[in-house]
Every structure is written in structure tokens, then in C-alpha cells.
Chain A
Amino acid sequence: MTEQIDKALAREYEAGFVSDIESETFEPGLNENIIQRISAMKGEPEWMLEWRLSAFREWLAMEEPEWALVDYAKIDFQSISYYSAPKSMKDKPKSLDEVDPELLRTYEKLGIPLIEQQMLAGIAVDAVFDSVSVVTTFREKLEEAGVIFCPISEAVHKYPDLVKKYIGSVVPKKDNYYAALNCAVFTDGSFVYIPKGTRCPMELSTYFRINEQNTGQFERTLIIADEGSHVSYLEGCTAPQRDENQLHAAVVELVALDNAEIKYSTVQNWYPGDENGKGGIYNFVTKRGICHTNAKISWTQVETGSSVTWKYPSCILKGDNSVGEFYSVALTRGRQQADTGTKMIHIGKNTKSTIISKGISAGRSNNSYRGLVRMNPGAEGARNFTQCDSLLIGDQCGAHTFPYVESRNPSAIIEHEATTSKVSDEQMFLCRQRGLDPEKAVSMIVNGFCKEVFKELPMEFAVEAGKLLEISLEGSVG
């Protein structure tokens, strides 16, 4: 059966094509001059450049972390290009008609049509291609509701007060090695502001695409949900199939003010490398949200891509009665390595957090859950429930769980459950005896295993995520 599964997993990466787009790309290298040039390309105000440079100086003094259960060749930060943008984007197209059709075709091929008439109704998209945002749809409609949804490079100009106030407020510049690097060289990403008492009228989503070779993608997303507001946001990511590893080091900051709610979903499908571990994206991401009184942040992630994943979407439950949730499916196959999980920091009274993590390992991959639950002394009556389930496909893969618990308040309650199971021969036989081919059988069993997480995704994306798993598992059986 292992053999069947390996075969099924040796699928093609469907998003692996390269778009033929003329780009303006910086020569590889990282120094203050490069940072000044990035800032100049974006026409940034002085304070932004200063912020970048101070982060860069912090970064120079930091060490690459080695505690995660991932093994990869050291990254040569001087061999990466830190800026690449389609030439056609230079004079900032005003409308879709002015956008390079080849760019639109790229997104269409990925199933993300940017022409509003063809789009899924109710979803606004910000499309980020290498280092720039190509287009943001449905902006007028959102503006009517007072919602700001634009590239962060634009927000720096248009809403400097909001950006200045909140950027780096959740993930400080020197939070960690990759976050500091991101602060220095971030190129684009999305900015969202939901005004007081507003329910965002549509789903917001950002679609990240790496195209250019040897470039890193360093996007930065900042979402601010003002008091009593509500927003659901989704990010998707893909990259061409290349033999070299590419670095993706993003920072996402969420701010949920009193009584606000942010739902952040990710379907991550960066190129995972080939079955021997050649190529693929290094995905080193810092995602964190802060919840004020009665606020709620819910992270849902479906991680199927990248050769190395290092990612811990977290919640700081600062306000009393605030709620943090983390729902995760991480699938690794081939030689993929994932070290992912969450941190729930309970500060306020009666704060609640829920962690549901589903790790699926196949091939010769390694899949680790790493999670921290901290109850601060003031977290009276705080509660956490954690459930970590691992599913093994075949017998050459690994699943690991590293739960860290720090409780400094005796009234806090922490529950942890963990299971490890296998796709069994009996289950496979039952499915095949009913006429299902082995691929379908595996994907169905895996989908069933992930059900609790998928039900947290917005409807359209739950279907997409299910399909993605199916494609990812193709050839894992034979």
C-alpha cells in the first residue's frame, strides 16, 4: 500500500508554470542601498525608510533560528534579489484595461479571474505578483461601506497615520530573524481597515504569486478591525516549479479592537519541490494577531505546499473575554518539512482559545506541530483546548508534536488531546471494494480526517481546499 500511496503522491504541481512577463528585477544582494532603492521604487516617505533601515540593523545582529525540526541548506541572503516587478506595472495602471493581459492570464490560469464580472460574487481580490500588487478588485464597492482594502504600498501614502500606528505593533521589528528581514525589505501585501461597527460586505482575499527566479517574496499584511467590526479574509499562494529554492518571508499583523472579529484563512500551495527535495519554497512566516476586549481572531490554514514551512499564526488575548482560534491542516509529502503550530498568549480574564491541528504526512516527509499555550498571572478563568491529530500515510514519514504549556494562573484550565493514526489497509480495502480507485480512497479518508478544520473555511474555499488535497494526494497510491 505504501507503494500505491507514493505513486499517488508523485503528482504534478498544477500551478508550476512560468509566466513570460518582462520584469524589472534588482540584482541579487542585501545592503542599505538595496533597501533605499526598494523604498524609492515605492516612493515612500522618510519615516518608512527609517523604519526599514532600523529593522535591517537589528537583523544584522540576529542569528537564524535553528530550533525548528527542519533541515535545509543555509540561505545565502546575498544571492537573492529583493525586488522584482512586471515592467508594465511601472506606470501604475489605473484600471483593469491597462493591466498587462499576460498578468491577467496568469491569474486566470490559477483559477483567479480578476475581471470583476467573472469573479466569484462576494469576494474582493488583491493580486500580488512578485513584489507588487497588480490589481485590487471591488474597491469602489468596499469604499461605499467605508472599508479600505488596498496594497500596503499605497496605504503608506494614503493612510500614513493608520500604518504608522499599527505596523510593527503586533509583530515588533526584532521579533524574530525573518520578521526583522521582512521589515527591512517588504515589498507589497494588503492593507485592510474596517471601520467601527461595520461588517465587511464581502470576503477579502489576497493571492500571492512568485514568478521571477531567484527573487524572494516578502509581503506584509496589516488588517485592522475597528471596534465592533467584522471581516473574513483569505490568502492563497502559488509559485512556478523551479529547481532552486526560493524564500518567502511574510509578516501578517491583525488588530482586533474591542468587540471586533477577524477570520483569517490561508490556502498555501507554494511549490513543494520535487520528490527528491529539489527546489521548492522556503516559507518562513510570522503571523500574529492581538485581541482587545471581547474580540475574536480565528486563524484557519490549509498548508499543502512549500519545501520547508516555518509558521505559527498566533493570538495575543489581551482584552478580557477575548477568543483565539487556530484550525490547521498541514499536509507534507515527498521530502517536504513542516514545523507549524500556534501560540496562544492569554493575558486578559476569561480568555478562551481553541487549537485544532491536523497533520498529514506521506512519502518521506516530516510534519511537526509546535504550539505554545501561555496563561499569564492575570488570566483569571482562562481556558484552552488543544487537539492535535496526526495521520500517517505509509511508513517512511514522520509526525511530531511539541506542545508547550506555561500556566501562571491556577484558575486557568488547559486541555490537550493528541492522536496518531494511519490510513489503514482495511479502510483502503473497504473503499476499493466499493469501486473507488486508490487515489480517491486516500483523498476521501484524508478529507474526512480534516473535516473539523475544513468546516471553518469560507464555503467557496472549503471546496477548493478539498480539491487541493485531492490533487496533492494524487499518485500517493497505486
Chain B
Amino acid sequence: MSNTKSLLTIKDLYASVEEKQIIKGLDLDIKPGEVHAIMGPNGAGKSTLGYVLSGRDGYSVDSGSVTLDGEDLLEMETEDRARAGLFLAFQYPVEIPGVSNLEFLKASVDAQRQARGEDAITSADFLKEAKAACKQVNLPVAFLKRGVNEGFSGGEKKRNELMQMLLLKPKLCILDETDSGLDIDALQIVAEGVNSQRSADRSFIVVTHYQRLLDYIKPDFVHVLSDGKIVKSGDASLALELEAQGYAWLQKEPVEDELEG
């Protein structure tokens, strides 16, 4: 363990949705620049963890603490967490009909700039950045004019999430199964997008079912989440082991294992 200050520290977190406790004593510490993969069976609470961290309404913390950059994350409003640099790429991105991607993204970027005391970005500058981001995730520029996720295919939605990440330049990116449903080409695009953003002051939580993404995004750590807590942590080799053996050996009681491949 180095002495660098942590970016994200989760301590003994318990959280519920609709009165049902899903996260049950979770600890995680992420330093700037690290990539952590979280794997685990369906229903383990991976998406829930992302929602709890980003402060989605209806997800309540029962006990424990979370800090981002030393600040109490749980005290902040959803939008303030985003402005503090937390980004969630959704497992199932939602559509906002009639609101163009460009308009939505510029408003988001401006809201975050404003929170930092910066002026709004000029439309011309933003358009330039947005076009570059489109190119990087291999989405036609015309997608900037289309409604947010409106009529996008599954893969396009995922790449659109990645594009948002490129433009918002967060400190902590949580990618919730951004690789699911992608073919190998799209998967590589996502991986390249993430790799291009890896830097000493940006960290990632990559939630995935599949080892194959981790062939492209080399994680520093791999954690197995099961029944609301981390039951095993290791380095990249743990993912290979999971690929070969599934999760059953890590769980005290056998749980339905839906891991494919």
C-alpha cells in the first residue's frame, strides 16, 4: 500500500432499496489512477452500489461511510456528486426524447463548469470537443443532433455513455456493464476509450461480467461482489480464475449462478 491519498473510500457500507438491504458491509479503497474491476453474479448488488454512490433517489444508506477526495459523499446531492467528479455510465441508458445529445451534454458540462466557478464553454469550442469525442467512440457526428439515446441501438447507447464520460472528464468513472451486449469491435472501442482516459488523477470502477473486457482494460485490482459485499479481491489474474471456475466456490451458500461464457 502506498501512502497516496485515497480518491474513494467506502467503509462498512450498508444500503437498502425499497426497505430491502442489498449492500451489506462493503469496504473499498481506490487511489487516484487505479482501475478496479468488480465482478459478481447477477443480483449481487453491483448496479445498486453504483446508484448508492451516485445518490439515486430511493437508495438509502443504512450505515457506513463514503468519502470522495476526503469529502463526505453521502451528504451531497446527486448533482453535487457529479460536479465533484463522479460519473456513472448506466447499464441501461434512458431516453430523453426531443433533447438533443449536444444540448444535453453542453448543459451538463456547463453545470459542472459553473460549479467550479468557470464560465460556460462557447458553443463553437464545445462542438469541436463533442465531434472529437464522437469520433473517438465511433459514433457518427449526426448523433449529436439526435435526442438523448432516442432510438439508439444497445451498442450505440453504451458508446454514447462513453462519449459523455470523455466530455465530462470525471475523477471517478463507474462503468456499469458498459461491455454487455457489445460485439468485439465495439468492445475494443469502449476499452480504447477507457484506456485513453486513464491517468494519474482519474480512477475507474469497471463493473463487468466478462473477463474479455479485462483483456483490453488491464485492471489493477479485481473484486468479487456477492450478496452485497466484497468476498474476494486480487489482481488481474483473479478474473481469469473466475472465468474458469465461476463464482460458486466463493460463495458460502450456493447461489444461482448466471455467469455466461
Contact = CB atoms under 8 A, between A and B. Distances in A.
A427 interface: yes
Interface in B70-116: 77-79, 81-83, 87-88, 90, 93-99, 103-105, 107-108, 111-112, 115
A424 B96 CA distance: 10
10 contacts: A427-B96, A430-B90, A430-B94, A431-B96, A432-B82, A434-B108, A435-B168, A436-B108, A437-B79, A448-B99
Interface in A74-110: none
Interface string A442-478: 0011011111100000000000000000000000000
A430 B57 contact: no
Interface of B: 54-58, 77-79, 81-83, 87-88, 90, 93-99, 103-105, 107-108, 111-112, 115, 147-148, 164, 168
Residue of A1, A424, A427 with most chain B CB atoms under a 10 A cut-off: A427
A430 B96 contact: yes
Contacts of B108: 431, 434-436
Contacts of A435: 79, 82-83, 108, 111-112, 115, 168
Contacts of B115: 435
A199 to B, nearest CB: 30
A434 B107 CA distance: 9
Contacts of B54: 433
A462 to B, nearest CB: 13
B82 to A, nearest CB: 4
A125 B168 CA distance: 44
B30 to A, nearest CB: 19
A275 to B, nearest CB: 23
Contacts of A427: 94-96
Residue of A431, A433, A438, A451 with most chain B CB atoms under a 10 A cut-off: A433
3 closest Cβ pairs, A-B complex: A448-B98, A448-B99, A434-B108
A425 interface: yes
Residue of B79, B83, B105, B115 with most chain A CB atoms under a 10 A cut-off: B79
Interface string A38-55: 000000000000000000
A440 to B, nearest CB: 7
Contacts of B83: 435
Given A430-B148, A433-B82, 5 more contacts: A425-B57, A427-B94, A429-B78, A430-B96, A435-B82
Given A432-B78, A444-B99, A445-B99, A437 B111 contact: yes
B163 to A, nearest CB: 12
Nearest to A429: B56
B83 to A, nearest CB: 5
A467 to B, nearest CB: 14
A443 to B, nearest CB: 10
Contacts of B93: 430
Contact of B111 (A440, A445, A450, A452): A440
B47 to A, nearest CB: 12
Contacts of B87: 433
A447 B98 contact: yes
Given A425-B57, A440-B107, A448-B147, A433 B78 contact: yes
B51 to A, nearest CB: 8
Contacts of B148: 430
A436 B111 contact: yes
A436 B112 CA distance: 8
Interface string A403-432: 000000000000000000000111111111
A438 B55 CA distance: 13
Contacts of A428: 57
Contacts of B78: 429, 432-433
B18 to A, nearest CB: 13
A451 B96 contact: no
B97 A449 contact: yes
Interface in A327-370: none
A360 to B, nearest CB: 12
A429 B54 CA distance: 9
Given A432-B82, A435-B111, A448 B57 contact: no
B97 A434 contact: no
Interface in A201-247: none
A444 B111 contact: no
A435 B115 CA distance: 9
Contacts of B111: 434-437, 440
Interface in A56-89: none
B79 A444 contact: no
B90 A436 contact: no
Contacts of B56: 429, 433
A451 B164 contact: no
Residue of B56, B90, B99 with most chain A CB atoms under a 10 A cut-off: B99
B82 A451 contact: no
Contacts of B55: 432
A1 B88 contact: no
Nearest to A1: B57
Contacts of A433: 54, 56, 78-79, 81-82, 87-88
A432 B104 contact: no
A436 B99 CA distance: 14
Given A425-B58, A429-B57, A435-B112, A451 B98 contact: yes
Nearest to B95: A427
A53 B196 CA distance: 80
A394 to B, nearest CB: 14
Contacts of A425: 57-58
Contact of A450 (B58, B98, B104): B98
Contacts of B81: 433
